[in-house]
A = this chain, B = another copy of it.
Amino acid sequence: MFERRQPIPIGEAVKKIMEYQIPGKMEYVLIEESYGRFLAEDLIATCDVPHFDRAPYDGFAVRSIDTTNASQSNPIEFEVIDHIGAGMVSNKVVKDNQAVRIMTGAMMPEGTDAVVMLEVAKTYEKNGTPYMSIKRSFKKGENVSFRGEDATKGEILVKKGTLINPGIQAMLAAFGYKKVPVAQKPIVGLFATGTELLEVEEPLLPGKIRNSNSHMIAAQIERAGASVQYFGKLPDEFDTCFEAVKDVIGKVDLLVTTGGVSVGDFDYLPEIYKKLNAEVLFNKVAMRPGSVTTVAHYNGKLLFGLSGNPSACYVGFELFVRPIIRKQLFTEKPHLRKEKAKLDVDFPKANPFTRLVRSTVTIDGGRLRVSPSGLDKSNIIMSLAGANSLMILPGGTRGIQAGSEVDVLLLEDQTGSEWPW
């Protein structure tokens, strides 16, 4: 009567999935739409930065050689022959004891090699001609930002697979990337299964609940960096489910279903995989929640059968689906970032298998602390709202004391890790 399933360790399950990774694809988007996307190529300096010698301060561009003998007792006078702001170019060539009044960011005029800051110069006019004088000498190159000082043409500045943040946006603009090569967002198909499911807008009925998993997973898909294609909910009927799954596989990069993977009398996903002739990578993982997570490979696509239980579904997505999405976004760190944190409260529950507890990580005096974000009942969606992490409690423990150091996986962090187990 019972189907006997062989549980495998989480790390092994993840490994089996990652062996089937599908290569990422590139597309170009306008720079205005590139924030939050992942670079599909290295960002390369297309020019020197700055690409001309320039003034970093408001002042006077001079020939340093003319300042050599300037001192408190020997002020040296310069005729001011031009006046330029950023973006203007002086067409004068600066000669002996001449200067150009120059604003921050403007190009150094021909002949000059130092900038006298405005506040150290005395300015005046003689017969309608502007002059300035200084009482100290300036070295060659003093107060000049030199061409190539910040970046050299050809230099790799940001690696492929990096998430585009505001600073990278600035660099893309500076280097003329009007169109930015970014990773295409993988299209993740999504079905919710279960006769008990109502749509969000439907009134409650006895025995039925609103479909919350697909909205949750849709947000998780978006957080991971992919696009969701929601195909609706399916009743617990074998033929309907089989046809629906078969029908959409060709239209998506990955397919996620929620529910129907357990050993209940109306759980048809295992049979569907069988009839499809899909290769089941695993159908039981040594973890709580989410042990019944089932992943199969069919026709070059991965099919993720997540539990219908909200918490198991959530955890299964983050452990198994997220990394394959991130890999297609070219990142070298596709897994959730793993860090150490100090447990704030006792966790008395025994863990026969590795337990992933939805948790809230806080920072106190520069140290990570963690506590469960709700009661650890796997059917409670409430505890998901405050969760910013999953605490990993190793299998085979009899509960863990407050103050212990535990591993946590950070859910809202973009850093990632190469391999979490």
- Mask for A330-358, Cβ within 8 A of B = 1, else 0? 00000000011110000000000000001
Specify which of B151, B176, B262 is in contact with A210 (CB 8 Å cutoff): B176
Contacts of A104 in B (CB 8 A): 262, 264, 308-309
Contacts of A54 in B (CB 8 A): 207
Specify which of B87, B173, B211 is in contact with A236 (CB 8 Å cutoff): B87
Whether A252 sits at the interface, judged by CB under 8 Å, is no
Query: Within residues 276 to 323 of chain A, which ones have a CB less than 8 A from any CB in chain B?
Result: 308-310, 314
Spot the interface stretch: A63-71, A92-100, A134-142, A378-386: A378-386
- Mask for A380-399, Cβ within 8 A of B = 1, else 0? 11111111000000000000
Whether A376 sits at the interface, judged by CB under 8 Å, is no
**Cross-chain contact A211 with B382 (CB below 8 angstroms):** no
Whether A21 sits at the interface, judged by CB under 8 Å, is no
Q: Nearest residue in B to A199 (C-beta to C-beta)?
A: B178
Min CB–CB distance A296 → chain B (angstroms): 22
Min CB–CB distance A234 → chain B (angstroms): 12
Whether A365 sits at the interface, judged by CB under 8 Å, is yes
Whether A184 sits at the interface, judged by CB under 8 Å, is no
Give the CA-CA distance A184 to B165 in the complex, in Å: 23
**Cross-chain contact B85 with A265 (CB below 8 angstroms):** yes
**Cross-chain contact B105 with A196 (CB below 8 angstroms):** yes
Given contacts A87-B197, A196-B105, contact A220 B367 (CB under 8 A): no
Given contacts A368-B366, A412-B414, contact A308 B170 (CB under 8 A): no
**Cross-chain contact A173 with B196 (CB below 8 angstroms):** no
Min CB–CB distance A249 → chain B (angstroms): 23
Contacts of A236 in B (CB 8 A): 85-87
Specify which of B32, B105, B230 is in contact with A308 (CB 8 Å cutoff): B105
**Cross-chain contact B171 with A200 (CB below 8 angstroms):** no
A side interface size, CB within 8 A = 111
**Cross-chain contact A385 with B86 (CB below 8 angstroms):** no
Min CB–CB distance A47 → chain B (angstroms): 6
Task: Kindly name the residue among A178, A202, A210, A219 whose own CB sees the greatest number of chain B CB atoms within 10 A.
Answer: A219
Given contacts A85-B195, A222-B36, contact A103 B265 (CB under 8 A): yes
**Cross-chain contact A366 with B342 (CB below 8 angstroms):** yes
Give the CA-CA distance A167 to B358 in the complex, in Å: 10
**Cross-chain contact B101 with A171 (CB below 8 angstroms):** no
Min CB–CB distance A408 → chain B (angstroms): 9
Contacts of A387 in B (CB 8 A): 167
Contacts of A358 in B (CB 8 A): 167
Whether A248 sits at the interface, judged by CB under 8 Å, is no
**Cross-chain contact A150 with B36 (CB below 8 angstroms):** no
Specify which of B36, B157, B176, B310 is in contact with A201 (CB 8 Å cutoff): B176
Contacts of A51 in B (CB 8 A): 204, 209
**Cross-chain contact B52 with A206 (CB below 8 angstroms):** yes
**Cross-chain contact B265 with A173 (CB below 8 angstroms):** no
Task: Kindly name the residue among A119, A214, A363 whose own CB sees the greatest number of chain B CB atoms within 10 A.
Answer: A363
List 13 additional A-B contacts (Cβ < 8 Å) besides A35-B222, A87-B207, A366-B367: A49-B381, A56-B379, A86-B266, A87-B208, A88-B196, A104-B262, A168-B384, A168-B385, A169-B219, A171-B382, A176-B201, A178-B200, A341-B366
6 nearest A-B residue pairs (beta carbon):
A87-B196, A167-B384, A87-B195, A170-B216, A166-B219, A107-B207
15 sample A-B contacts, Cβ–Cβ < 8 Å, listed by A number:
A32-B215, A32-B218, A50-B209, A52-B206, A86-B308, A105-B194, A106-B207, A150-B377, A158-B385, A167-B216, A170-B314, A170-B384, A172-B215, A176-B210, A339-B363
Which A residues have a C-beta under 8 Å from some C-beta of B? Answer: 1-2, 31-32, 35-36, 47, 49-52, 54, 56, 58, 83, 85-89, 101, 103-107, 118-119, 123, 145, 150-151, 157-158, 164-178, 194-197, 200-204, 206-220, 222-223, 230, 235-236, 262-266, 308-310, 314, 339-342, 358, 363, 365-368, 377, 379-387, 405, 412-414
